[in-house]
Amino acid sequence: MLIEAKKIFKSFGVGKSKVDALRGIDLYVGEKSFLAIMGKSGCGKTTLINVLATLISPDSGEYYFDGVLINSCDENKKAELKRRQLSVIFQQYNLIDELNVKNNIILPLVFDKKQFDQSYLERIVSDLGIEDVLKKFPAELSGGEKQRVAIARALLITPKVILADEPTGNLDHENAGKVMELLRNCVNIYGSTVIMVTHDIDMASYADQILRMSDGGIDGVR
């Protein structure tokens, strides 16, 4: 299994204000699969994505990424994982203000001194409709454009796993559909696995399976 999460617990706060965000999550996701996560606001979706992205450590439970126990990895190992094998797409885009759009997109590969596939870059950029903003800086972009730039950056490294937290939250229906087709292609053509949080059943329908969460637990997968 590419992703194995066993009995993951995570709480925030203490005493009366303690919130049990994840209450013993068991999640197994194989290669080349597309999983959508749905559930009410506050049920723990982002917390789960953050654990899978190695951005927060669970209070207990084990998380294996491609056979490696993440709980015992140091920050260097986690950073390397995120640069090469695991892309995260957030609602807040984490673009570098000082770099133009193109340099933002290729940054993970430049950082790794890796060549990038120019034709794949052109294809992603054209599918996302951001070819005209490549020379602009993040401050000159709309929210939806920033979101698409962040998606382009996440896809260009052809990661093993793409984690996306409401990746189409700021997009109109047409652009949202294009993003979904791109994510679908990442699975079908590049063999990535996608785990995506969404509130939109139309977007979830691009996935192979829909996992429903409530109150820090998994209700079922279908």
> Among ligand ATP, Mg ion, none, what binds residue 191 when CB lies within 5 to 8 Å by partner kind?
none
Give backbone dihedrals phi and psi of 52, rounded to 5 degrees, phi first: -65, -30
> Under the criterion CB under 6 A, does residue 45 sit at the interface with ligand ATP?
yes
CB closer to ligand ATP, 3 vs 130: 3
> Among ligand ATP, Mg ion, none, what binds residue 164 when CB lies within 5 to 8 Å by partner kind?
none
> Under the criterion CB under 6 A, does residue 180 sit at the interface with ligand ATP?
no
What secondary structure does DSSP assign to 49-110, as a single string? HHHHTTSS--SEEEEEETTEEGGG--HHHHHHHHHHTEEEE-SS----TTS-HHHHHHHHHH
> Under the criterion CB under 5 A, does residue 192 sit at the interface with Mg ion?
no
CB of 199 to Mg ion, least distance (A): 9
CB of 173 to Mg ion, least distance (A): 21
Give the total of residues touching ligand ATP (CB under 6 A): 12
Residues 8, 82: Cα–Cα separation, whole Å: 20
CB closer to ligand ATP, 91 vs 185: 91
Of 68, 83, 8, 39, which Cα lies nearest the Cα of 220?
39
Interacting positions 22-81 with Mg ion (CB under 5 A):
46
- Indicate the helix (H) or strand (E) that contains 196: strand 193-197
CB of 202 to ligand ATP, least distance (A): 17
Of 181, 218, 197, which Cα lies nearest the Cα of 36?
197
- Cβ-Cβ contacts under 8 Å for 6 (sequence gap 6 or more): 26, 61, 62, 63, 64
The pattern of x and - marking residues 13 through 32 that bind ligand ATP according to CB under 6 A reads: x-----x-x-----------
CB closer to ligand ATP, 13 vs 191: 13
> Under the criterion CB under 6 A, does residue 44 sit at the interface with ligand ATP?
yes
Say if CB 183 and CB 206 are below 8 A apart. yes
> Under the criterion CB under 6 A, does residue 215 sit at the interface with ligand ATP?
no
Residues 48, 29: Cα–Cα separation, whole Å: 13
Say if CB 61 and CB 9 are below 8 A apart. yes
CB closer to ligand ATP, 158 vs 214: 214
CB of 199 to ligand ATP, least distance (A): 7
Q: Which residues bind ligand ATP (CB under 6 A)?
A: 12-13, 19, 21, 39, 41-47
